[in-house]
Amino acid sequence: MIVLVTYDIVDDRRRDDVAMLLSGYGPRVQLSVFECDVRDQRELRTLRASLRERIDPLEDQVRMYPTTSQTFNERYVIGARTVEERADYWIVR
């Protein structure tokens, strides 16, 4: 199942942590939006728990919208802009 995950996170560190977690589940389609592919309800619960651990519930918000294959395939995308992932890394020899 595809779960649309959106977030508004105040702190840069927490925001980066959430983005890193979500990138393991699927592509970033907007700056604070991921299309996450989860196998079943158990994996969805695991993802929710992992997100809860990474945010401050008084300052941040994460929204998750589970979709069916039918509703996901009926999505509309207007515009061609894509979000490029940052490539921050160091090469140490």
**66 contact partners, CB below 8 Å, separation of at least 6:** 1, 2, 3, 44
27, 83 in Cβ contact below 8 A?
Answer: no
Q: Which pair of structure tokens corresponds to residue 77?
A: 């995308």
Is residue 8 part of an annotated ligand binding site? yes
H or E element, residue 64: strand 61-66
- The binding site for Mg(2+) consists of 8
- The binding site consists of 8
